[in-house]
Structure 1
Amino acid sequence: MTLLAAEGLTKRFGGVVAANGVSFALEPGEMLAMIGPNGAGKSTTFNMVGGQLRPDAGRVTLAGQDVTNTPPRALCRLGVGRSFQVAQTFLSFTVVGNVQMALIAHQRQTRQMLSDAAALHRDAALALLDRVGMAAQADRPIGELAYGDVKRVELAIALAGAPRLLLMDEPTAGMAPSERAALMALVAGIARRERIGVLFTEHDMDSVFAHADRILVLVRGEIIARGSPEDVRADPEVQRVYLGQSGTKAAARARRTHG
């Protein structure tokens, strides 16, 4: 069964049509990238799927269940995890404490936080940190970490809810090129191994062409192309309005690295 389906999503802000009839599907274990120039409608579409915006038309289904207009907290209960362009962590907490907080919230145990939060779900939190390569730094204050490591912790936080769908908004923003490659390889490995569908927006074309199974290209609120990285790379309209020379070079690097 298709994991996520968007059907005819449309959103207007006054006289501006930010998204116009956007439709796509995502399968379990698939990495689907949404790209396009600034103002293309990526964030609007992403936020309609994630429950932050109410569409004016269209619907969103999760494994066949209509979740249109379902708020983010309720989507989390249905198996939707999310990471953000700017990492959302508690800087005064330890690495493991941040993941424990996510597990406590997912289990609805916030009343126990004042008494024994430090002991709640520590083993489960350590296991999640091990999955993202951060177990060795579990007891460090998160404020001491390099930004690439903070993003790994944020991934562990997103995995705390045992998601079947992961929404990632600019996951490599603010990271060095080597950190970007390592994070996206980690995400892709987890997604394919655990059959988690991943929808992500990204400006770094190296990350997109190296790790996406399929790509959606939005321009002025509409999808102008979709398909495999190879299909998108060869599309003359995509080349004209978005990728240009830099996108061609990124695609070539991805072929050399992974092909």
Structure 2
Amino acid sequence: MSEMPVNEAPVLSVDNIAKAYGGVQALGGVSFEVRAGELLALIGPNGAGKSTCFNVLNGQIRPDAGTVRLAGRDITGMPPRAIARLGVGRTFQIAAVFGSLTVLANVETALAAARGKSFGLWRPQAGMAREEALALLDQTGIAALADRPAAGLAYGDVKRLELAIALAGSPRLLLMDEPTAGMGAHERLALIGLVRRLAAAHALAVLFTEHSMDVVFGHASRVVVLARGRVIADGSVEAVRADPRVRAVYLGHAGAEART
């Protein structure tokens, strides 16, 4: 499947974001952009500032300085729900789905929430957005599991369901925190390949953190590397892989994981 060209205008613009906790500088002036159709990998060693950066972008943490813009609009410090309504979806390292609901009901509930419908969270209206929900499940490869309880899914299918839930809000930007954590090599490459195809098909900008270098180097459009809260590299997979600073602070001790 051919991928659409990356759009010129950035969907996400991060400009000089800073955040400190006491005397610890978690982020020290981080800047980068993500465009439609692009998968940008945000990597770095533990403690580099990746989680803090994600939480700033999602509105869970207010930065001490800097600006976050979504399609040119300043969203710095907005609460997570307001940011989500503007078109930002997120998946988490530990997948968050409702185990007591069926796979289909999980996505129906997400669709209703995105539209501001008011009904009991565990009692979605019968047939609410059923066709849309089934279409999302089809896109993520689990339509055949629609009537199964989410609690009984294999882990890889839970991650696909979480992706369908995130897509229910019709995001223009998708934040994915360790999307393939806990998955085997085949599963993780299949999942990130699916995300790449969806990004191309829907002009979706994707920012993801990841420790598995086979995922990053096999599927990222571009890579940003953080170390001690600062960007030390931002470029193509080839350029970042060859950067001596990256090899020194990160790739050297990530090599063993990259071969798993």
2:194 maps to which residue?
Answer: 186
Q: State yes or no: 1:214 paired with 2:222.
A: yes
1:256 maps to which residue?
Answer: none
1:120-176 CA distances to partner (integer Å, 9 max, x unpaired)? 111111111000011111000111110000000000000001111000000011112
User: How far 1:112 sits from its partner (Å)?
Assistant: 7.0
For the residues of structure 1 that align with 2:29 and 2:249, how far apart are their CA atoms?
20
More helix by share: 1
For the residues of structure 2 that align with 1:116 and 1:25, how far apart are their CA atoms?
37
1:156 maps to which residue?
Answer: 164
User: How far 1:248 sits from its partner (Å)?
Assistant: 9.4
For the residues of structure 1 that align with 2:185 and 2:36, how far apart are their CA atoms?
28
Amino acid corresponding to residue 229 of structure 2 in structure 1 = G
Alignment of 1:1-259 (within 5 A): 1-111=9-119, 117-244=125-252, 246-247=254-255, 250=258
Amino acid corresponding to residue 38 of structure 1 in structure 2 = N
Contact map agreement 1:97 1:118 (CA 8 A) in 2: no
Amino acid corresponding to residue 99 of structure 1 in structure 2 = V
Contact map agreement 1:214 1:227 (CA 8 A) in 2: yes
For the residues of structure 2 that align with 1:249 and 1:35, how far apart are their CA atoms?
13
For the residues of structure 2 that align with 1:72 and 1:237, how far apart are their CA atoms?
34
For the residues of structure 1 that align with 2:186 and 2:75, how far apart are their CA atoms?
37
Contact map agreement 1:233 1:248 (CA 8 A) in 2: no
Task: Flag the 1:50–1:113 CA change in 2: closer, same or farther, 3 A.
Answer: closer
Amino acid corresponding to residue 50 of structure 2 in structure 1 = K
Task: Flag the 1:115–1:210 CA change in 2: closer, same or farther, 3 A.
Answer: closer
1:188-222 CA distances to partner (integer Å, 9 max, x unpaired)? 00001211000001111111111111101101000
1:227-248 CA distances to partner (integer Å, 9 max, x unpaired)? 0010001001111111027549
1:148 match: secondary structure: helix
For the residues of structure 1 that align with 2:105 and 2:80, how far apart are their CA atoms?
22
Q: TM-score, normalised by structure 2?
A: 0.93
Task: Flag the 1:228–1:12 CA change in 2: closer, same or farther, 3 A.
Answer: same
In the alignment of these two chains, the number of paired residues is: 252
Q: Percent identity?
A: 58
Q: Pairwise CA RMSD of aligned residues?
A: 1.8
1:163 match: secondary structure: coil
For the residues of structure 1 that align with 2:195 and 2:64, how far apart are their CA atoms?
32
List runs of 5+ in structure 1 lacking aligned partners.
254-259
Q: TM-score, normalised by structure 1?
A: 0.93
